[in-house]
Amino acid sequence: MCGIVGLYLKDPALEPRLGALFEPMLVSMADRGPDSAGFAVYGDEVGDGMLKFTLQNADPALDWDALVAGLTRDLDAAIDWFRNASAVVLKTRAAEADVRNWLADNAPDTRLMSVGRSIEILKGVGHPKLVADRFSLAQMHGSHIIGHTRMATESGVSMEGSHPFTTGEDLCLVHNGSLSNHNRLRLTLERAGIRFQTDNDSEVAAAYLSERMSRGETLTEALEAAIDDLDGFFTFTIGTRDGFAVLRDPIACKPAVLAETDAFVAMASEYRALAKLPGIAHARVWEPEPGRVYVWEHSTRASMQETGT
């Protein structure tokens, strides 16, 4: 089943309340996905030439100070960092490949959750309310956020199998549905140099989009291609550094509802998740059309591109 939710702010005045507005959205979809939950929050962007790395390790006794000290010493790069429960966020000028290789050699149990200038992905096994509390979701600031509550079908219940999935800088995806051609697509993408962390179908969808966008396609173009190339059932919500997108398969097997006001765009599997948003009573509320790409981007703030087949 699974539940997906997303909130994209058009009014910057709401940014300090992003987490507080989003937490009830995620928790309300716990009925659709009680196994595990996760979210990708965008904000607190680092400057040019810098990257944010979100790491996670299940061991509460892990000595993060020592890990960061080792990274700083070996990569010879200053690291600004903070801890959030089982995760830490590093801000550094170090290159992604160097950080990735260092972790593989020195801290193989520590997982790299996301890389980018804006994105932080936090996820884990457990009821969505527990996951939200663990990472103090309600306190978070930012410009947009997408989340997922999981009822596992395609792979085991684990932190790795929970959403969102990311395979490229600042890009991530949450998925309700199941893809039927993900194995073949994974092989093709691996040949194109994409690295996979799981055998999950949704990770393949994320990788498909990152691979196309790495070749210069826009988010809209990559999603239009996905309509033809991905076989199966899907409602996707996608986050990029400054964008937010929704796409449903042409048969529309999985539910979705969108709401838009002057202040925000919100997406959810069911309207229940949107019921507490401010001004929702006067929002435009509709079901996104199947096979139609909906994209909002901050570069074109308050304007929407809609295309479709």
Partner 1 sequence: MRTISLSETSVREVNRQLHDQTAELAEAQWRITDPEGRHALACGLDQTLEVEIDGHAGYYCAGMNQKARVTINGMAGVGVAENMMSGQVRVKGNASQSAGATAHGGLLVVEGDASARCGISMKGVDIVVGGSVGHLSAFMGQAGRLVVCGDAGEALGDSIYEARLYVRGSVKSLGADCVEKAMRDEHLAELRDLLDAAGIDARAEDFRRYGSARELYNFKVDNADEY
Instruction: Give the residue numbers annotated as catalytic, written as ranges.
Output: 2
Closest contact distance (angstroms) between CB of 20 and partner 1 is 18
Give the β-pairing of 171-179 and 232-239: antiparallel
Residue 276 binds partner 1 (CB under 8 A): yes
Q: ∠ CA 27-31-34 to the nearest 5 degrees?
A: 80
**Rounded to a whole number, what is the largest CA-CA distance in the chain?**
55
Helix (H, G, I), strand (E, B) or coil at 125: strand
Among 50, 102, 289, 305, binds partner 1 (CB under 8 A): 289
User: What is the 8-class DSSP label of residue 262?
Assistant: S
Euclidean distance between CA atoms 123 and 147, whole angstroms: 9
Residue 228 binds partner 1 (CB under 8 A): no
| CB-CB contact of 188 with 206 (8 Å) | no
Residue 290 binds partner 1 (CB under 8 A): yes
Among 204, 257, 266, 293, binds partner 1 (CB under 8 A): 257
Euclidean distance between CA atoms 244 and 236, whole angstroms: 11
Q: What tokens were used for 31?
A: 């009925």
Q: Interacting stretch for partner 1, rule CB under 8 A, among 73-81, 99-107, 210-218, 250-258?
A: 250-258
Q: Interacting stretch for partner 1, rule CB under 8 A, among 35-43, 45-53, 60-68, 285-293?
A: 285-293
Task: Tell me if the bond preceding 164 is cis, omega within 30° of 0.
Answer: yes
Closest contact distance (angstroms) between CB of 31 and partner 1 is 10
Residue 275 binds partner 1 (CB under 8 A): yes
Closest contact distance (angstroms) between CB of 25 and partner 1 is 11
- Give CA separation, 145 vs 95, 180, 238, in Å: 25, 27, 10
Closest contact distance (angstroms) between CB of 58 and partner 1 is 35
Residue 151 binds partner 1 (CB under 8 A): no
Q: What tokens were used for 1?
A: 């089943």
Count, residues near partner 1 per rule CB under 8 A: 16
Among 272, 301, 305, 308, binds partner 1 (CB under 8 A): 272
Residue 278 binds partner 1 (CB under 8 A): no
Q: Cβ closer to partner 1: 64 or 271? A: 271
Output the DSSP codes for 29-75: GGGG--SEEEEEEE-S---TT-EEEEEE-S-TT--HHHHHHHHHHHH
Residue 271 binds partner 1 (CB under 8 A): yes
Residue 134 binds partner 1 (CB under 8 A): no
Site for partner 1, rule CB under 8 A: 252, 255, 257, 270-276, 281, 285-287, 289-290
